[in-house]
Amino acid sequence: MPLSRNMVMVRPWSPSSKTTITNMKKTIFMLSVMILLTGCDIMNKIGGAYQLSQSEYRYRSIDNIQLSGLNLGDASGISLSNLATIATILSGGSGMQTIPFSMTLNMDVTNPNTSAAFLDALDYAIQINEMEFVEGKMDIPVRIEPGETRVIGVPISVDLKSLMNRYSQERVTSEMSGFLGITPNETSVSVKLWPKFYVGKTLVKVPAPISVIFNFGGK
């Protein structure tokens, strides 16, 4: 019989309809679990970064120092001849196109908390006596268990010539001389660390930095 305009056709129930509904429920459940696990993972990583902010930081050493291709080694073991060479390079900076400088700043980091402190990577900014020295990043994961102390080495690379152009040759020479122990001036080094962690494949940076100040330098 043909359908009239006022008649409604109702599709009869079939086993395939039940299967479709069951599959939809499973899909919704799996998506809910994935969202929940992702949220828990993010909170866990935020917690790890927070524990780092509550950890204790102490200056340990500076090593792998290189200045214009000259390997100076450890800051505590720079020879008198190398000190003279450093002074010559810094004072003659006006005639150079670049003055590459690199080193590793080592810090002892102690986690006094009851949960692990960790990160996937970090950004950093360093000032020497309020002179903006360098900004950079370290793409090496760090994990410190409760009660554990680990050495975190921050690799630093900067062109001192660029700093001289920004500030002055005299300012940079003075700050670096105190920093490396050529002059007896005490040096205040401010280090800011921004922990980063992965959310999926994206690195997310914690907005508030961990601020650390070391006072050292001079002989």
pLDDT, averaged across the chain: 82
CA distances from 13 to 1, 17, 26, 27, 90 (A): 21, 7, 20, 22, 87
Do residues 28 and 20 touch, judged by C-beta distance below 8 A?
A: no
Long-range contacts of 38-44 (CB under 8 A, 24+ apart): 38/199, 42/199
Residue 16 burial by Cβ neighbours in a 10 Å radius (0-12, 13-18, 19+) = exposed
Stronger pLDDT, 183 or 114, i.e. the higher one: 114
> Going by C-beta distance under 8 Å and a sequence separation of 6 or more, which residues neighbour residue 129?
175, 178, 187, 188
Residue whose entry in the numeric block shows the structure tokens 């930095």: 209
- Radius of gyration, CA atoms only, the chain: 29
> Going by C-beta distance under 8 Å and a sequence separation of 6 or more, which residues neighbour residue 2?
none
Q: Where are the beta strands (DSSP E) in 22-99?
A: 56-67, 70-73
What confidence tens digit (pLDDT) does each residue in 4-36 have? 444 444 444 445 444 554 555 555 444 444 444
Please compute the mean of the pLDDT values over residues 106-115 and round it to a whole number: 96
* Distance separating alpha carbons of residues 22 and 18, to the nearest angstrom: 6
Whole-model pTM: value is 0.76
Per-residue pLDDT band at 41 (split at 50, 70, 90): low
Set out the domains of the chain in order of their start, with CATH numbers. 46-216 (2.60.40)
Determine the pLDDT at residue 179.
86
Structure tokens at 31: 């998506």
* Distance separating alpha carbons of residues 189 and 87, to the nearest angstrom: 20
Residues belonging to the chain: 219
Determine the pLDDT at residue 177.
86
pLDDT at 174 over 60: yes
- At position 47, the amino acid (one-letter code) is G
Instruction: Count the neighbouring beta carbons within 10 Å of the beta carbon of residue 70.
Output: 12
